[in-house]
Amino acid sequence: MKKPKTFKPQSQELPGQQSKMVPEPEVIRQGYEGADKLRGKVALITGGDSGIGRSVAVYFAREGANVAINYLNEVKDAKDTQKMVEAEGGKCVLIKGDIRSESFCKKVVETTVKKLGGLNILVNNAAVQFPKDSLDGISSKQLLETFETNIFSFFHLSKAALPHFKDGDTIINTSSVTTYRGSEHLVDYASTKGAIVGFTRSLAKMLAPKKIRVNGVAPGPIWTPLIPATFDDVTKFGQDTALGRAGQPSEVAPAYVFLASEDSSYITGQFIHVNGGEIVGG
């Protein structure tokens, strides 16, 4: 697929719908060949209905995994992802609901284990963002929603998943370039994404003796439903990167395959920066 450099004006409500985006993001690179890197593994992916999470689900399935995806309420997007995973020969369990609730997070993990026979890979990926240009604009309600969704849920889900994990199993957390470079429009969101970095590094050390690895991906501007659902002007989205364009989810998900598979067996507590060329530390 030729990667677009500009986008038509468009806007949506949160959570955005992939099926309503123009053009729809590329889910998997044409010609990507699976190599059984995740054969026999079970993955749970939050926000797996769309965007980066959908691509991770489809790449994981092409690598031989079965997947469970959690999503807030985007039924059509979730069913579309399920069809794509099944077309790869994988099973796909859909689990709808709000991961701000700790008891629901436990249910998500239990459902995954019951329906797919275990859990080896947890991808903490769901998030919200509400751009605001002043601190006054960030209400306590918004602050709580952003932290509960973007980082508290990572604690709830990791806690629930751990009892099922064995040697070689992994957690992968989605952060963002905004935390590394700072973002004047997304102070609360970037703060949660920084918390995810601390969480990942610390949990990696805590779980290393159990041979469970914890890593993350820090994407730059990626063409997903989150973008038209939260930014006023998407027309030049991603043009300020070194590569001069937004990334597609299909270009992000292979980093998750690497971090989930044995190829990264000596890597823990680290982030891969899939951001179109922004040089950031850590």
Catalytic residue list contains 189 = yes
Rounded to a whole number of angstroms, the minimum distance from the CB of residue 266 to ligand NAD is 26
The residue nearest Mg ion at its CB is 50
Q: Is 276 in the site for ligand NAD (CB under 6 A)?
A: no
Q: Is 98 in the site for ligand NAD (CB under 6 A)?
A: yes
Among residues 144 and 208, whose Cβ is nearest to ligand NAD? Answer: 144
Rounded to a whole number of angstroms, the minimum distance from the CB of residue 61 to ligand NAD is 17
Backbone angles phi, psi at 9, to 5 degrees: -60, 135
Q: Is 15 in the site for Mg ion (CB under 5 A)?
A: yes
Rounded to a whole number of angstroms, the minimum distance from the CB of residue 167 to ligand NAD is 28
Rounded to a whole number of angstroms, the minimum distance from the CB of residue 148 to ligand NAD is 7
Q: Are 152 and 100 in contact, with CB atoms under 8 Å apart?
A: yes
Among 42, 46, 49, 222, the residue binding Mg ion under the rule CB under 5 A is 49
- Locus of tokens 């994990």: 165
Binding mask 30-69 toward ligand NAD (x if CB under 6 A, else -) reads: ----------------xx-xxxxx----------------
Residue numbers 69-108 binding Mg ion by CB under 5 A = 74
Q: Name the pairing type of β-strands 170-174 and 213-217.
A: parallel
Among residues 130 and 165, whose Cβ is nearest to Mg ion? Answer: 130
Burial class (CB in 10 A: 0-12, 13-18, 19+), 262: exposed
CA distance 259 to 265: 8
Residue positions annotated with a catalytic role: 189
Residues that bind Mg ion (CB under 5 A): 15, 49-50, 74
Residues that bind ligand NAD (CB under 6 A): 15-16, 46-47, 49-53, 70-72, 74, 98-100, 125-128, 149, 174, 176, 219, 221-222, 224-227
